[in-house]
Amino acid sequence: MTRESTERRQRANGMESRRRVLDAAVEIAGERGYDGTSIAAISAKCGLPASSIYWHFKDKDGLIAAVIERSFVSWLAAVALPGEETGTPLERVTVMATNVAKSLVDAPDFLRLGLMLALEQRPTEPRGRTMFLQVRKVAHQKTVDVVTTLFPDLDENDVQTLTTYAIAGADGLFVHQSVNGDTVDLLAFFERHARLVYDAAAHLAERT
């Protein structure tokens, strides 16, 4: 085996072990929250020794921040307005909303953990909370971009109001579904929410 192939295999093994650690951390943190998550619990879950976890991450705080960042990158891909070939502006919005809901159904723990961290107040802010607040700003701007693309004549105050309402409503629906489980069809509620936001935007646009 050549040195190059050995290094390639080592990199692949390193990426796989990192993925296992992050997957375990997502599950543990989703069940126990930030305080209940420990390197020992993650080690037991993923089957890797603590030394391997510390090789990838300096501490639990850095690991939780990495969990949020990785999950957000995947989720953010869903927050994209489909092209005009998808249909009317309303149809494009509802497709996007459905895609976002699907991403949360597939991987809900990142938002659940992020919201828990966002609501906590600590003397020293965890990096995970800082990371979540940063990625929320990105999500906010992405939503602003969608609103301004579809309703370019709206003034800045209306755009910001609609964006805040859209994100807050999505958060509320996610929490409601987390509490009530499968009795709540998150995809259907997100589509309805998108229609309400769109109707509100259209109403405001008519006044301009």
Residue 78 lies in a domain: yes
Mean pLDDT of the chain: 87
Give residue 9's pLDDT: 52
Q: 7 pLDDT band (50/70/90 cuts)?
A: very low
pLDDT at 114: 85
pLDDT score at 5: 47
Looking at the fold, whether 50 and 77 belong to one and the same domain comes out as no
The 3-state DSSP class for residue 27 equals helix
For residue 29, give every residue at least 6 positions away whose Cβ sits within 8 Å of its Cβ, in sequence order, or none.
Answer: 36, 37, 64, 67, 109, 113
Encode pLDDT of 161-208 as tens digits: 999 999 999 999 999 998 998 888 999 999 999 999 999 999 999 986
- pLDDT 10s digits, 73-108: 777 778 889 999 999 999 999 999 999 999 888 878
Runs of H (alpha helix) within 57-208 = 60-76, 89-106, 109-119, 127-150, 156-180, 186-207
Q: Are 142 and 95 contained in the same domain? A: yes
**Widest CA span of the chain, in angstroms?**
71
- The answer to whether residues 133 and 202 belong to one domain is yes
Statement: residue 29 has pLDDT above 90 = no
| Mean predicted confidence (pLDDT) in 43-50 | 94
Residue 27 lies in a domain: yes
Q: Are residues 143 and 45 in the same domain?
A: no
Q: What is the pLDDT of residue 77?
A: 78
Range of the domain at 87: 69-207
Separation of first and last alpha carbons in the chain: 70
Distance of CA 158 to the CA centre of its chain: 25
Q: Domain check: are 40 and 106 in the same one? A: no
- Residue 6: pLDDT band (50, 70, 90) is very low
Q: What is the b/e burial string over 48-59, where b = at least 16 CB atoms within 10 angstroms of the residue's CB?
A: beeebbeebbee
- 182 and 120 within one domain: yes
109 versus 168: the higher-pLDDT residue is 168
* Reported confidence tier of residue 11, pLDDT bands at 50, 70, 90: low
- What value does the mean pLDDT take over residues 4-31? 74
The count of domains in the chain is 2
Q: Are 186 and 104 in contact (CB under 8 A)?
A: yes
Same structural domain, 139 and 178: yes
Nearest-5° angle of CA 130, CA 64, CA 187? 85
For residue 146, tell me if it sits in a domain.
Answer: yes
For 84, counting Cβ atoms within 10 Å of its Cβ (0-12 exposed, 13-18 middle, 19+ buried), the class is: exposed
What is the spatial distance between Cα 102 and Cα 94, in angstroms, rounded to a whole number? 12
